Amino acid sequence: MAYAEDDYLMLSGIQHFQFCKRQWGLIHIEQQWADNEATAHGQILHQKADNPYIKEKRKDIITSRAMHVSSKAIGLYGILDVVEFYKDENGVNLKGKQGKWLPCIVEYKRGKPKRDIRDIVQLVAQTICLEETLECHIETGCLYYHSVNQKKVIEITKELRQEVFDLAAQMHYYYDNKIIDKAEYFKNCPLCSLADICMPRLSKKTRNVNNYIKQSLMSEDSL
């Protein structure tokens, strides 16, 4: 399936969707957003990384910033933090540059490596978009974690690519049908910048009250 450009969704949203579908719905369907310290710090990092006027060239490495990419295959579009091009015969031609250059995405994150794969699926989705934009095949990408100064190389596997295709299809289904999941409380909810808007604790209390009333009515019916 090929998506029309008018139907493209934001590439950065796949990370939110994988982590919490309700968070994604509040941001991308209801257009709600709130900054906390984590998101503010993350934005500063991205502003620096996405500045197209910061140029770097080191020997056989060319660094490109704020590159616009999109994919008809998954229907996503966005801007990449950093793409490093390494001189390699298996790479692509770059305008004004001699030889061929192999691209590698570097996605900047403020914290440390996570236990889930939300950062990884975002990187893989970015890679799929870059491959389509440059008409090439990319086998690895990188995640840079600012708080621990760690750069992790991620293999772009067939299984991860399929995960991204599945998530992207779900995102389009949710968006087209304006689906927003009900709130559920998890241990990471207090860290979310939308916690005050989502109110997962209130939803949990409401469910508990409803369950109590339902159980009471069932008990009365059995008398």
Same domain, 152 and 217: no
How many other C-beta atoms lie within 10 A of the C-beta of residue 100? Answer: 16
Last residue of a domain, one of 157, 177, 197: 177
Domain count of the fold of the chain: 2
CATH number reported for the structural domain that contains residue 155 in this entry: 3.90.320.10
Same domain, 112 and 215: no
pLDDT value for 218: 52
pLDDT value for 216: 45
Can you list the positions of beta strands (E) in 49-75?
56-58, 61-71
Same domain, 201 and 118: no
Same domain, 173 and 189: no
Same domain, 131 and 190: no
The residues with which 10 forms a beta bridge, in sequence order, are 77
Same domain, 201 and 167: no
pLDDT value for 85: 94
Same domain, 191 and 112: no
pLDDT value for 44: 41
What string of pLDDT tens digits covers the 223 residues of the chain? 799 999 999 999 999 999 889 989 998 998 886 543 344 444 444 454 445 444 566 778 999 998 999 999 999 999 998 999 999 998 999 888 889 999 999 999 988 998 899 999 999 999 999 999 999 999 999 999 999 999 999 999 999 999 999 999 999 999 999 999 888 887 777 777 777 778 776 655 444 434 433 444 454 454 4
Same domain, 171 and 83: yes
Same domain, 88 and 189: no
Closest CA to 200 of 23, 7, 70, 19: 23
Torsion sign over Cα 95, 98, 100, 101: negative
Same domain, 24 and 126: yes
Query: 86 exposed, middle or buried (CB, 10 Å; 0-12, 13-18, 19+)?
Result: middle
pTM of the model: 0.79
Range of the domain at 156: 5-177
